[in-house]
Chains A and B, each alone.
Chain A
Amino acid sequence: MELQSTTHGTYKSVTVNAERIDASVAIQFKDAMRAEADGGPGHIVLDLGRVKFIDSSGLGAIVAAMKHMGKDRRLDLAALTPDVEKVFHLTRMDTVFTILPKLPEPANREAG
């Protein structure tokens, strides 16, 4: 499970470089997210734009990542593909997470 992270001013984006977050990778994903969160900034945006399939184990792993960050830090989601969005909607997890259409523009972006 490959995650690619970039720090943008006030937040860190974490892009999932995989098409599936399913039962066979849920634990790896959870561990990798834990590593991204530990020592990271107070705001992480998880970019799911490349993920085409998620099941309830993947969903549970994302919830676990959010819980790991605790009350004082934030995990938002971005760029959900239609099938992934559907799983969040069916389980009402779309009411728990802030879901952004795409990664936010960093406040202090470089000129150009």
Chain B
Amino acid sequence: MSHSGYTHEFTMSAQANDGEVRALLCNLRRQLADHGVAEPTCASAELVLAEALNNVTEHAYAGLPEGPVELRTEIGAAMLRFTLSDHGNALPGNRLPAGNQQDMNVAVEDLPEGGFGWLIIHAITSSIRYDRKNDENCLVMTIPNALNG
């Protein structure tokens, strides 16, 4: 079949709300650790998925009834791959937001309080792909699986 190098996988699902997202993230972190993934990599994975899941909760399902999200995690010696799917609204313009660095050299009252999510996602992932088909969003992200941090 494929030569992707992923040797283990598991799937989790949740309703797209803050409480279930938090529980899913804690569960993800536990499962990655149980598979021998190093602590700093578990932390990066949790952060990247937190940002992606918050986007689903806040934006994809905005104005819609709360819906499900599904996360498939694949673990390989070199990489971790996360496939996140939901049935919410498409990303604006059907494309990945850029996640540009924001200007911090401004007066305190003008500092940004948001817009960091995609910046964090792009900074941590090695690759990221977004597909919209059959009314479903699918986000595939990889991060390096650094063995000893």
Task: Enumerate chain A interface residues (CB-CB to B < 8 A).
Answer: 20, 22-24, 53, 55-57, 59-61, 63-64, 66-67, 70-71, 82-83, 86-87, 90-93, 95-96
Contacting pair A96 B104 (CB below 8 A): yes
Task: Enumerate chain B interface residues (CB-CB to A < 8 A).
Answer: 18-19, 21-22, 25, 40, 43, 46-47, 50-51, 54, 57-58, 101-102, 104, 107-109, 111-114, 116-117, 119-120, 123-124
Contacting pair A53 B111 (CB below 8 A): no
CB-CB under 8 A from A20, the residues of chain B are 22
Contacting pair A55 B101 (CB below 8 A): no
Counted as pairs of residues, one from A and one from B, with CB atoms less than 8 Å apart, the total is 78
Interface centre among A20, A24, A56, A82, by most chain B C-beta atoms within 10 angstroms, is A56
Overall SS of chain B's interface: helix
Sort A-B residue pairs by CB-CB distance and give the 6 closest, nearest first. A24-B18, A56-B116, A60-B113, A55-B50, A83-B43, A56-B117
